[in-house]
């Protein structure tokens, strides 16, 4: 932990994925923490494909800090459909960006990983020290392992080159402006859209994958962004750090709560022939609190209400 927070005011900061759901919040939090908006660079994937080395080199040129959020990511459906793409794209983006940043003399590299990297049967709550104690849940292992390899790279580069790279593990995110595309969205936006469309059609039943038994933890996007920026300012260590709330909810209770908030009174039908994903997911959040003072602030029901309200206003 650094004794005095990093001064962002004169730093040139590259935020990959900065135009995305989490990225926009991170840019906003950077500005609140004193960064100059004119010195924040947000490359767009259609202009700069970061799976190509020369684009990574171009992206990091003349920067002081990199916050790497860009990812090819989705829910269980996308993980089953495109495991090779998810492995290759995320590995290439991350590993070449880290290498280019080291060569360019970047002062600080913040890598945002994924809790899909944790073993399938990790003791709950997940502690960072358990990260290597088994193979990830099969449906998202290619994505999770590609992102976990970046932790090894950062630790190796710190050891050999003195490169200041940190690695953060945010839990499942949600919030306004999330991805609500049913082909690639995560569980909360997918369920909100499903309920909304069922209401629009006047359905009396709601079909939901799995049996409802898995548990998940969710972190509001604004909280996640604040945690990332706090780590960028105050944390410089080799060990990975969880970002979460420590609040665990079952998928069954989650869909019941969404239906209650959205006033959907139909029957929930569980499609037990479809996969559940990882059995339980909840993080130990002590390291983030001790290392750089991060604690989540937005309660789950409050965050859910804000997310549902945003979707209702913006649904096509």
Output the known binding site for substrate. 194, 209, 216
Q: Rounded to whole angstroms, how far apart are CA atoms 225 and 23?
A: 8
Beta strands in the chain (DSSP E): 13-16, 40-41, 65-68, 108-112, 165-170, 172-174, 205-209, 215-216, 218-220, 241-243, 249-250, 267-271
196 flagged as catalytic: no
Output the known binding site. 17-23, 147, 170-173, 186, 194, 209, 216
In contact, 178 and 244? CB cutoff 8 Å: no
118, 143, 196, 311: the catalytic one is 143
In contact, 34 and 268? CB cutoff 8 Å: no
Q: Which residues contact 54 (CB under 8 A, 6 or more apart)?
A: none
Q: Rounded to whole angstroms, how far apart are CA atoms 69 and 18?
A: 7
Q: Catalytic residue positions?
A: 143
């Amino acid at each position: 932990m650094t004794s005095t927070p990093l001064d962002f005011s004169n730093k040139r900061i590259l935020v990959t994925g900065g135009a995305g759901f989490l990225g926009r919040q991170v840019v906003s939090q950077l500005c609140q923490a004193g960064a100059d908006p004119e010195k924040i660079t947000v490359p767009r994937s259609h202009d700069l494909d970061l799976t190509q080395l020369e684009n990574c080199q171009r992206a990091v040129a003349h920067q002081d800090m990199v916050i790497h959020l860009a990812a090819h990511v989705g829910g269980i459906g996308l993980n089953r459909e495109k495991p090779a793409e998810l492995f290759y794209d995320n590995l290439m983006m991350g590993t070449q960006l880290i290498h280019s940043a080291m060569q360019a003399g970047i002062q600080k590299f913040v890598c945002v990983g994924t809790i899909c990297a944790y073993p399938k049967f990790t003791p709950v709550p997940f502690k960072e020290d358990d990260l290597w104690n088994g193979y990830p849940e099969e449906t998202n292992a290619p994505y999770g392992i590609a992102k976990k390899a970046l932790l090894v790279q950062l630790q190796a580069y710190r050891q050999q080159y003195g490169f200041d790279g940190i690695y953060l593990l945010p839990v499942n995110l949600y919030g306004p402006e999330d991805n609500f595309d049913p082909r690639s969205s995560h569980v909360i936006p997918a369920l909100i859209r499903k309920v909304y469309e069922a209401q629009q059609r006047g359905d009396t039943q709601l079909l939901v994958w799995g049996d409802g038994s898995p548990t998940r933890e969710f972190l509001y996007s604004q909280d996640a962004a604040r945690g990332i920026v706090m780590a960028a300012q105050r944390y410089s260590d080799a060990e990975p750090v969880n970002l979460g709330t420590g609040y665990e909810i079952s998928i069954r209770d989650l869909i019941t709560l969404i239906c209650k908030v959205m006033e959907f009174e139909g029957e929930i039908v569980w499609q037990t022939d479809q996969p559940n994903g990882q059995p339980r997911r909840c993080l130990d959040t002590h390291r983030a609190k001790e290392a750089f003072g991060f604690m989540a602030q937005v309660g789950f029901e409050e965050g859910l209400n804000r997310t549902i309200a945003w979707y209702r206003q913006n649904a096509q």
